[in-house]
Amino acid sequence: MAFLLGDCLLLDRLKDVNMSQAEFARKMNCQRQYVNGLIRGTEKMSLEFAINAAEILGCNVRDLYVEIPTGRRKG
């Protein structure tokens, strides 16, 4: 099944581990404004960023966005 990315769940994951946007940005070596853009939906994270974010947050990459099934199969 194929999926579209829905809302970013980064703020929820940050709350899960009691981490501020500023602390996360420092650990990810990026601007806090970029993190805020991810949370607001004006930015999309790359796969590389998502893998590193999941490692820092102790979650799965798929836990960072709502997945919306399209009803179509890939392939």
Q: For the chain, what are the domain ranges?
A: 3-69
> Under a CB-based contact definition with an 8 Å cutoff, are residues 40 and 51 in contact?
no
3-69 carries CATH number 1.10.260.40: yes
Q: What residues does 41 pair with on adjacent strands?
A: none
Interval 44-71: pLDDT, tens = 999 999 999 999 999 999 999 999 998 7
Q: What is the pTM of this model?
A: 0.88
Query: End-to-end alpha-carbon separation of the chain, Å?
Result: 9
Torsion of CA 31, 28, 59, 55, to 10 degrees: 170
Tell me, what's the pLDDT at 75? 57
Model confidence at 73, pLDDT cuts 50, 70, 90, reads: low
